[in-house]
Amino acid sequence: MNNHYRRLNPSPISVVVFCFAFSFAAVATFVSQRASAQMQTGWEHTYASPNHPIVLHAVRLLDIESGKIISSGEVLVRGYKIAEAGQSVAHPADAQTIDLGDTTLMPGLIDAHVHLFLHPGDEGLQTVEESVAQRTIQATLAAHDDLMAGFTAERDMGTEGAGSADTAVRNAINRGEIPGPRLRVSGNAISILGGHEDAIGFNPAQHVLGNADYANTTDELIATIREQHKEGSDFVKIYETGRDIFRDGQFTSQYQYTEAQLAAAVQEAARLGTKVGVHCMGEPGALWAAQAGVESIDHAAQLSDETMRIMREKDIPAIPTFTIFEYFADHAQNPAVAKAEHESLDYHIQQFKKQIAAGIPMAVGSDVGPFPHGTQARELVLMVRYGMKPLAVLQADMLEGAKVLMWEGQIGDLKPGYFADIVAVPGNPLDDIGVTQHVSFVMKGGVIYKR
């Protein structure tokens, strides 16, 4: 743990000083505050924004919307929000000024596809062997690592068998009890019986549970969405495709739900004021997901022209998740699997170039979890390597990411009224996207977590 967190840990002494200033009229308050202070001492660690304004100063600031680097750059933070940002800002008399030197200030990074409840190792086995309690502890550590890497907001795309345990992690972060990104959580993903992430290949007599919540019909989809909502989910994650086969350059992906079923899920999510995100590798599932109006199409290895047309029309981003493809290709169990994984990555790269040319929206999601948390800025590097400009990737990450996470107008930019989610990177990210892998300063909601 890092000792730069600002902890609200009221000591009895400060309460005494406070109460003397207000004489005997405050005796009742004194007693109750002292009692509560004593109960909290040594126990409560709350991450809260400070009472004084903060001015962040750096050599550069990224104006993400215009795509320009401003020098120098300053941000005035009051409480948990940005009050001013630009070349120079007001310096209130009571402000603390933090000079971050030769760095670039920019909005906190957004990862639109994470799994806090997964860690490197056999995905299928860890969800069978490890208890939800154990996995929840690991998820809190993962949330810490992601935040320290500069990811101040994330969409958790399924606990993979840990049910609604992600709501506990999100709530603890929101209450300031543990450090972590701002989170949108789905609970388990939803899948058909015998589909993606069902426990296929185990001894049938053991009745091993799948990592998703089962829903086989439209009615079951709606009931499952309602159940997850009751348990605290923010959005819906559906596995739209199952088994993928790459053979001789040909790719096929089995769909799981029809267009009508996905449309019913989108409608039910809308009734609850939220959206549906899909795991979707290819056609025809991708077309049906786009027609149904999902929030994003994740993995998106194969998209038809018609699918891409609808994605442009409805502003549905693809989220390529290259890092997980690369990781699986580089960490395969044997040469045959490695060959298949590399073939799959190569196919995805070729399709991605077509998708860029078609001008579809993109967001940035890494699928971190199966590879180490806190390393996922690799995704931005790969999206540049495979054809996007650094600025386009940063805009996909921050501007499109804010929309995908349903925080548009609140995160992803350094503007007055936005949450003070701010990071600093060495160098200029428009020249070298790799600097996003070396975030040196992290503030979320006005609280400094890394400096």
Residues that bind Zn ion (CB under 5 A): 157, 367
Nearer to Zn ion, 33 or 211 (CB): 211
Query: Is residue 162 within 8 Å of 135, Cβ to Cβ?
Result: yes
**In whole angstroms, how close is the CB of 279 to Zn ion at the nearest point?**
6
Nearer to Zn ion, 19 or 149 (CB): 149
* Cα 252 to the center of its chain, rounded Å: 29
Least Å from the CB of residue 113 to Zn ion: 6
Can you tell me which residue has the tokens 């790719």?
Answer: 251
On whether the CB atoms of residues 352 and 303 are closer than 8 A, the answer is: no
Nearer of residues 157 and 221 to Zn ion, judged by Cβ: 157
Smallest gap from residue 193 Cβ to Zn ion (A)? 20
Nearest to Zn ion of 299, 450 (CB atom) = 299
Residue 162 Cβ vs Zn ion, minimum distance, rounded to whole Å? 14
Q: For the chain, first and last CA: distance in Å?
A: 13
DSSP 278-323: EEE-STTHHHHHHHHT-SEEEE-----HHHHHHHHHHT--EE--HH
* Residue 47 contacts residue 7 (beta carbons within 8 Å): yes
The distance of closest approach from Cβ of residue 64 to Zn ion in the complex, given in angstroms and rounded to an integer, is: 26
Paired tokens of 182: 């701002």
3-state class of 55 per DSSP? Answer: strand
Q: How far is the CB of 32 from Zn ion (least distance, A)?
A: 48
Which of residues 117 and 251 has its CB atom nearest to Zn ion in the complex?
117
CA distance 232 to 240: 22
- Least separation, in Å, of the C-beta of 437 and Zn ion? 21
In total, the chain counts a number of residues equal to 451
Identify which of residues 49 and 127 has a Cβ nearer to Zn ion in the complex: 127
Q: In angstroms, what is the minimal distance from the CB of 225 to Zn ion? A: 19
Name the region of 264 (left: φ>0; alpha: ψ -120 to 50; beta: rest): alpha
Q: How far is the CB of 147 from Zn ion (least distance, A)?
A: 19
Smallest gap, in angstroms, from Cβ of residue 298 to Zn ion?
7
Comparing CB distances to Zn ion, the nearer of 189 and 391 is 189
The CB-nearest residue to Zn ion is 367
Nearer to Zn ion among residue 103 and residue 256 (C-beta): 256
The CB-of-115 to Zn ion minimum distance in angstroms stands at: 6
CB 265 within 8 A of CB 245: no
Residue 416 contacts by C-beta under 8 Å, 6 or more apart in sequence?
Answer: 81, 82, 83, 84, 85
The residue among 54 and 238 lying less far from Zn ion, judged by its C-beta, is: 238
Q: b or e along 266-289 (b: 16 or more beta carbons within 10 Å of the residue's beta carbon)?
A: bebbeeeebbbbbbbbbbbbbbbb
Comparison of 157 and 424: residue with beta carbon closer to Zn ion: 157
Nearest to 324 by CA among 376, 383, 281, 273: 376
Comparison of 74 and 197: residue with beta carbon closer to Zn ion: 197
Looking at the Cβ atoms of 155 and 182, the one nearer to Zn ion is 155
Q: Which helix (H) or strand (E) holds 338?
A: helix 335-358
287 φψ region: left (φ > 0), alpha (ψ -120 to 50), beta (else): alpha
Give per-residue burial for 313-350: e unless 16+ CB within 10 Å, then b.
eeebbbbbbbbbbbbbbeeeeeeeeeebbbbbbebbbe
The alpha carbons of the chain give a radius of gyration, in whole angstroms, of 23
The least distance separating Zn ion from the CB of residue 371, rounded to whole angstroms, comes to 11
